[in-house]
Amino acid sequence: MKCYDNDYEWHKKDVIDKCFMCGEKSEGLFVVRHFASMKMVHLCPDCMVDRISEYCLDNTRAWKGNMIKGD
Ligand SMILES: [Zn+2]
């Protein structure tokens, strides 16, 4: 199922429910754009703060942070 826009490219190494930097599984991952590659990745809040200058928070897509909870 394809659910991204065409210009919305994900980094090859990105995993949807893990942080791109530290690999930690988290419910509160941010979807951010990696400036160096201009690809989208997921970051946990800690890595987001550490790398704020390297990544840009992207608001063009709805966050799906609650998807994992499964209530
Ligand atoms: Zn992280």
Average pLDDT over residues 7-23: 91
**66 Cα to the center of ligand 1, angstroms:** 18
**23 Cα to the center of ligand 1, angstroms:** 6
Tell me the pTM.
0.70
Give how far Cα 41 sits from Cα of 46, 54, 55, 70, 71, Å: 14, 12, 9, 22, 25
Give CA–CA dist 36/56, Å, rounded: 11
Q: For the chain, which residues make up each domain, given as ranges?
A: 1-62
**7 Cα to the center of ligand 1, angstroms:** 25
Taking only the tens place, the pLDDT of each residue in 17-29 is 999 999 999 888 9
Q: Is the pLDDT of residue 15 over 60?
A: yes
